[in-house]
Amino acid sequence: MPRSATYRAVEVSAPGTLRVVERPVPEPGSGKVRIRIEACGVCHTDAATVTGTYPGLELPRVPGHEVVGTIEALGPGVSRWKVGQRVGVGFFGGEDGVCEPCRRGDIVNCLNPVIPGVTVDGGYAEVMIAEARGIAAIPDALESASAAPLLCAGVTTYNALRNAGLRGGDLVAVHGIGGLGHLGIQFARQMGFRTVAIGRGHEKEKLARDLGAHTYIDTAVEDAGPALQRMGGARAILATAPSGAAMGLLVPGLATRGKLIVVAVPQDSIQLSAFQLVFGGRSIYGSLAGTAIDTEDALAFSVLENIRPMIETRPLEQAADAYARMMDGKARFRMVLTMNA
């Protein structure tokens, strides 16, 4: 049965407005592929597109950067990929190759990156054009809906932990048991770290332990900093909850030379004492997603250690409802849009 000449997409037509539209199916240009989308995760970062606040954003724009689908057309110059391959696209969809970070090999920090859902149309749609250099192969063992969040939340937490210079057995804490944190806990445990989950409320303890945490700290009854110090101090704390105030309170829990790794982007500022940084050589820094090959590493590790996101699925036409559920903090823990084949 021949494909339709049009496809459905959910675009931000004006700040705060998501609407379903029909668009003509495009042909991929040089170095690009056309993907028939099967699933797309709904990420908190999508808010910058939906609200129209991302710097330089042009509307209308189709959000979405956790995209899984099958290649159905190749543009000129694409040799590595084949029609019919299942691939994914994450937050980092390509680099300019000429800015200073790119020239120094730090392409994930490209000053002019291709960002699906921001600089180009993303995955809240049945079809998407993607840079061939920015796509990752999806393992057969991963279902598309489960793979989608791993392309952003997965590689973000995986890369942050594996690049932190840690050793097996190190005490590693994950602050927040949400869309990022529930994956961070799984990665930390399977990487061989003594894993501590930090959340608020006794009701989260069972989930934290089921995800792999050895210990749970309930900030409703005790401060995380002193609690971590009683355990010897954390070599690293992965900050996944979007609260600057809460992040600042974590620094006292770091061991000497410990690192607070920020992967969530809170609205409020992080307040902290320089004393704790200077005396003890502690540090705080951010970590941003990863490249396409980093994503393939994260997917392979997820298959190896049976790490999966907890998801709720919705059909494409319910994108606005799925986005609202995510923003209201009701998702457990990642919303994923699924498209009709």
What phi, psi does 130 have (nearest 5°)? -130, 150
pLDDT averaged over every residue in the chain: 97
Tell me the pLDDT tens digit for each residue of 259-281.
999 999 999 999 999 999 999 99
**Helix H or strand E segment including 160:** helix 155-162
The answer to whether 307 and 212 have CB atoms below 8 angstroms apart is no
What phi, psi does 220 have (nearest 5°)? -75, -20
pTM reported for the whole predicted model: 0.97
Percent of the chain with pLDDT over 70: 99
Tell me the pLDDT tens digit for each residue of 132-168.
999 999 999 999 999 999 999 999 999 999 999 999 9
Output the pLDDT for position 175. Answer: 98
Residue 74 has pLDDT above 50, yes or no: yes
The answer to whether 144 and 38 have CB atoms below 8 angstroms apart is yes
Residue 2 has pLDDT above 70, yes or no: no
Give the type of residue at 313.
T
Give the type of residue at 160.
A
Q: What is the CA radius of gyration of the chain?
A: 20
Give the β-pairing of 171-175 and 234-239. Answer: parallel
Output the pLDDT for position 1. Answer: 46
Return the ∠ at Cα 15 (arms to 9 and 16), rounded to 5°: 75
